[in-house]
Amino acid sequence: MSYRVKRTKSVFYISFPDISEKAFLRYRIQGDRMYLDATYTPPQYRGKGIGRMLVEAAIRYAEENGLKIVPKCSYAIYYFVKHPEKRKLLTPEYQNTNLEELFHRALEEEKKREHS
C-alpha cells in the first residue's frame, strides 16, 4: 500500500485508512535551518518504512528551500547514520559529529522523557 506524506507549517504527516492516529515528523524552521524535532509512527505501522518516508519528505523540502537540517530526534539522527550520502544536507556541526554517539544520547533522552 502506498501512503501520501502531507505537510503543515510544523508537521509532515501520514494518515491511515484504518485508524485515526497519524504518523508524523514535527519540525521547525529558524533562519536557514530545519530542526527535525520528533517522529512518531503508530505501533501497527512500525517497521514499514513510514518514518523513512517522513524524513525523506523533510529532506526534499529542505533541499527545495535551501535549508540545512538539524536532526534532533533519534529517528532522524538514525536516518543520517544509515544514509551517509545525505549528510551534506546537515548543518556543518552535525556533518562533523559522530552521529552514532549522538543517536544513542538522543535515545537516552527520549527514554527519560517517557518515564517522567
Provide the pLDDT for residue 5. 98
User: Which tops the pLDDT comparison, 116 or 3?
Assistant: 3
Q: What is the DSSP letter of 90?
A: B
Provide the pLDDT for residue 71. 94
Per-residue pLDDT of 19-58, as tens digits, reads 999 999 999 999 999 999 999 999 999 999 999 999 999 9
**Dist. CA 9–CA 35, nearest whole Å:** 13
Structural domains of the chain sorted by starting position, each given as residue range(s) with its CATH number in brackets: 6-114 (3.40.630.30)
Provide the pLDDT for residue 8. 98
**Lookup result for grid cell 537540517:** 69
pTM score: 0.88
Contacts of 68 (CB under 8 A, 6+ apart): 32, 33, 34, 62, 89, 90, 91, 92
Provide the pLDDT for residue 107. 80
Per-residue pLDDT of 52-101, as tens digits, reads 999 999 999 999 999 999 999 999 999 998 999 999 999 998 887 887 88
